[in-house]
Amino acid sequence: MAKRVYEVWKGSNKFFLGGRLIFGPDARSLLVTLLLIIVPVIVFCVFVASHLRHQFKSYNAGYLILAVAVVFTIHVLVLLLLTSARDPGIVPRNAHPPEEEFRYDTSASVEIGGRQTPSLQFPRTKEVMVNGMPVRVKYCDTCMLYRPPRCSHCSICNNCVERFDHHCPWVGQCIGLRNYRYFFCFVSSATLLCIYVFAFSAFYIKVLMDSDHGTVWKAMKESPASVVLMAYCFISLWFVGGLTGFHLYLISTNQTTYENFRYRADNRLNVYDRGCLNNFMEVFCTKVKPSRNKFRAFAQEEAPRPTLPPTREVEAEDMREDRRTKVEDDLDIGGDLLKISQRHNIEDIEADIRSRGSDVVHHNSSEGDSVLGSDRRAPGVQADIRHSSWGRRSESWEIAPEVLGMNSNTQESRGYATSKETYQ
C-alpha cells in the first residue's frame, strides 16, 4: 500500500490529523504554553471579572469585561495554533546531490592502480544575486541542496527552513517565512492580554479600597487572586513584552533573529533592508507563500540516480581496467609461485630418494630378489628393478606419472613446456 509523504518524512516533525497539522519534535512544550495562558485567564474570569459586573451603573459593562477577556484569549490561542501547527517554510530535501555541481578536487585525489584519481567534491558555497548584491549561500549535506538566501538548517527539526528566524520551544516549532507573521501577532497579542488582566486586577483592588474605605493591604487580603494575577502578568510582561519590542526592531530593519545574533559583530551590509515602511509591508501585507510540501500526497518512489556524465563513465571504466590488470598480475605472480613450489617439491623428492637409496640393503640369495627398505619410499615414487650384467638387480627410481601429470597440467595451463624427468 502506498504511503503518504508525512508517513515517510525524514525530518523530526510530528504530524496529526492525517498530516494536516505539523509540529516540531518538542510539541509537548506547547501544552505548557497553553496552561500558562488558559489558567490565569480562568482565574481572572472567576475571581475578578465576575465581581466587577456589579461595579458599573450599566450592567452590560461588567459582562463586557468578561467577554473581552474570553474572546481575546481565544484570539491568542488561534494565533498560537497557526504558528505551531503549520509548515514554517520547509525546503524539500533532494533524493540525490545536484549532479551539475560536481567538480574534481585534485588535492583530495585517491591513488588507484598506481595512478592518482581526483575525487568528486561539492563546492561548499556559491554566490547568488539579491537586490543587485552578491550573497553567499551554503550547501546543506543533510538536505543535499544549496540553501536559498536567508535559509538555514534547524538542528532540532532537521529541516532547512526559508527565512529562518529561530526555533521557539514555547510554540514547539521553527519560526520561518510562512509563520513569522503569526508568531509576531501571537507574542504581541499575549502582551496585550497580560496588560489587560493586570489593569483590571489592579482596578478591582482599587474598587475594594473605595468600597470599604480600607487600605491597600486590606484590599489585597480580601482578593489574593488579584495580587497573584498582577504579579504573574508583571513577570510575563518582561518576557513577551521584551520579545515584542525586539521583533519590532527586527521587522523595521528587515532582519531575522538568526542574522542579528550571528552577523551582529561583522558589520555586514543588510541587502534585504528596503526601508522601515516597506519592511513592515513585506511582513504584514504580502501574501503568504504556499507550502512547498504536500504532506498528504502519496509518496513517490525515489527515482534511480542519474548516470554519470561521459567523462566520469570513462574514468569509471579506467578504474575497472586497473582492477582487472591488478588481478591478472596477481594471477601471474601466483602461477610463478606455484612453479617454484612444484620445482622445490621435485627436488625434495630427489634428495629423499638419494638418502633412502644409501639405506637399501641388497641380500644375495639363490633367487637374488630380497630388497629391503622399499616400504619407506616416498609416495608417488616407483622402483623399476632390472638385472645387471653382474647378476644383481639394479633399481631405477622414477617419479610417478601422477606427480608429473599434475606439474604438466599446471604448466601447460600457464603456457609453459613440460618435460618428464627420470632419476636413476
Catalytic residue positions? 168
Cell of 271: 541587502
Contacts of 79 (CB under 8 A, 6+ apart): 182, 185, 186, 189
Burial 201-226 (b: 16+ CB within 10 A, else e): bbebbebbbeeeeeeeeebbeebebb
Alpha helices in 148-179 (DSSP H): none
* 350 dihedral zone (left: phi>0; alpha: psi -120 to 50; beta): alpha
Which amino acid, residue 87? D
Q: Scanning the structure block, which residue is given the C-alpha cell 598506481?
A: 114
Separation CA 125–CA 122 (nearest Å): 9
What strands, in cross-sheet order, belong to the sheet with 125-130? 125-130, 133-140, 145-146
Q: Report the candidate in 21, 365, 355, 349 with the shortest Cα–Cα distance to residue 173.
A: 21
Separation CA 73–CA 64 (nearest Å): 14
Contacts of 111 (CB under 8 A, 6+ apart): 117
Give the chain's radius of gyration (CA, Å): 45
Separation CA 180–CA 81 (nearest Å): 13
Chain centroid to CA 153: how far? Answer: 11
Separation CA 156–CA 176 (nearest Å): 14
Q: What is the DSSP letter of 301?
A: P
Separation CA 251–CA 275 (nearest Å): 10
In this structure, the dihedral spanned by the alpha carbons of residues 228, 234, 238 and 241, taken in order and rounded to 10 degrees, is: 110
Q: For strands 103-112 and 115-121, give the pairing.
A: antiparallel
Q: Report the candidate in 156, 223, 171 with the shortest Cα–Cα distance to residue 11.
A: 156
Give phi and psi for 118, each to the nearest 5: -65, 140
